[in-house]
Amino acid sequence: MSTLMTEPAAGRFGDFGGRFVPESLVPACDALAAAFREAWADPAFRAELDELLVVYAGRPTPLTPARNLSADLGIELLLKREDLAHTGSHKINNVLGQALLARRMGKGRLIAETGAGQHGVATATAAALLGLEATVYMGERDIERQQLNVLRMTTLGAEVVPVGSGSRTLKDATNEAMRAWVSDVDRAHFLLGSVGGPHPYPWMVRELQRVIGVEARRQSRTVPDVVVACVGGGSNSAGTFAGFADTSARLVGVEAAGGAAMTNGSPGVVHGARSMVLQDADGQVAEAESVAAGLDYPGIGPEHAHLGAIGRAEYHTVKDDEVVEAVRRLARSEGIICALESAHAVAWVLRAAGTPELPTGSRVVLTLSGRGDKDMATLLGGAS
């Protein structure tokens, strides 16, 4: 049975997960796990989060039939519209939960990493709402290609710290954010943006994103044949999959060809968890390379590594040019400009529809993880 339903014992998902952190972070991880376990079982905490998700974040997001594309492709395609959530992506679901938890734990400061900037924007937003400080670490390369989101974060009152090491992208920003947490561990909560990292993050973030799958399941009425979502660290897909774990639906994750930890990686440790990781012959974490800053990451959450290993979920890759084409095709056929990240899922559907991978007549629920405003400059400049 899939672990998607339960808290993983010792933070382990089969051979993956766990907690590989410096000694100094072990008590903080333990305290966080205990606090989340208690909060998640507390109806008052759940009610406060649910209320915020409705009156602030705009949930439930709709499930939109993509009528024109469905007719063209010979399938029934339903889009779970996380692009319509406040701040423009699914990140807000996780961030509101963790920010409430940080406040409950008496922490006055949020530290976050960001790639495309969506997680940084969501964190800055929740910090403003709840009266917390926010420091966001972001690779210099991502700062260049996601200037709109940098402006949003500073407008919201967050401090954005440029990271110039390594590939100057998400992996390096995550390293720096974890370092910053170590040096301010009593006062700060590390608000991790995806289902990676040491226990309890993969479990906690999946639970906070479960709302996507639960809503989509209810809205789709009958069980779809296929549930598909893009995979960076794996949070929008994990939250979506969790709503369908106990059904017969195929679960499909789509990675960037240049950041395909499931397809091209091997078991290793990155950012505190054992998972599938892109690495070189010496076991050094390799650089990822994708047009979508949010998928430019060499690892994947440990639960995905497990779901892949046991065959409950399948993982495919698409290339940058297919992704750019998928943004255009969805925009012109449905009037929806999605994020480059989300377009990975769309690109797989475009390629697979009508083939044995996705036969004609299939009913497909696709999570559109975010909106594409932030990517207009990248699209104008051609794939970078």
Ligand X SMILES: *Cc1c(COP(=O)(O)O)cnc(C)c1O
Interface pick for ligand X out of 89, 93, 98, 220 (rule CB under 6 A):
89
Distance CA 7, CA 314 (A): 22
Of the candidate spans 125-133, 228-236, 258-266, 315-323, the one that interacts with ligand X by CB under 6 A turns out to be 228-236
Site size for ligand X (CB under 6 A): 21
Closer residue to ligand X, CB minimum distance, 174 or 194: 194
CA 72 to chain centre: 29
Helices (H) and strands (E) in the chain, counts: 15, 14
233 near ligand X, judged by CB under 6 A: yes
Range 39-78 burial, b when 16+ CB lie within 10 A, else e: bbeeeebeebbeebbeeebebbbebbebeebbeebebbbb
Residue bearing tokens 């009913």? 363
Q: Please report, as residue ranges, which positions from 265 to 304 form the binding site for ligand X (by CB under 6 A).
A: 294-295
Distance CA 45, CA 97 (A): 9
Of the candidate spans 54-62, 103-111, 125-133, 224-232, the one that interacts with ligand X by CB under 6 A turns out to be 224-232
* Whether 91 is catalytic: yes
* Whether 113 is catalytic: yes
Instruction: Determine the length of the chain.
Output: 384
* Whether 369 is catalytic: yes
Closer residue to ligand X, CB minimum distance, 21 or 339: 339
Interface pick for ligand X out of 126, 160, 230, 352 (rule CB under 6 A):
230
The dihedral sign for the CA sequence 64, 203, 285, 180: positive
Structure tokens given for 107: 């922490």
Report yes or no: 54 and 310 within 8 Å, Cβ to Cβ. no
Interface pick for ligand X out of 8, 97, 232, 258 (rule CB under 6 A):
232
Interface pick for ligand X out of 73, 95, 116, 254 (rule CB under 6 A):
116
Of the candidate spans 57-65, 69-77, 225-233, 317-325, the one that interacts with ligand X by CB under 6 A turns out to be 225-233
On the question of a cis peptide bond just before residue 60, with omega within 30 degrees of 0, the verdict is yes
Of the candidate spans 131-139, 230-238, 303-311, 350-358, the one that interacts with ligand X by CB under 6 A turns out to be 230-238
Closer residue to ligand X, CB minimum distance, 132 or 292: 292
Closest contact distance (angstroms) between CB of 364 and ligand X is 18
236 near ligand X, judged by CB under 6 A: yes
Q: What is the 3-state secondary structure (H, E, C) of 239-305?
A: HHHHCCCCCCCEEEEEEEHHHCHHHHCEEEEECCEEEEECECCCCCECCCCCCCHHHCCCECCHHHH
Distance CA 120, CA 176 (A): 14
Q: What is the chain's alpha carbon radius of gyration, rounded to the nearest angstrom? A: 19
Q: Please report, as residue ranges, which positions from 146 to 205 form the binding site for ligand X (by CB under 6 A).
A: 194
234 near ligand X, judged by CB under 6 A: yes
Interface pick for ligand X out of 231, 256, 277, 330 (rule CB under 6 A):
231
- Binding residues for ligand X (CB under 6 A): 89, 91, 116, 118-119, 194, 230-237, 294-295, 339, 341-342, 369-370
Provide the annotated active-site residues: 91, 113, 369
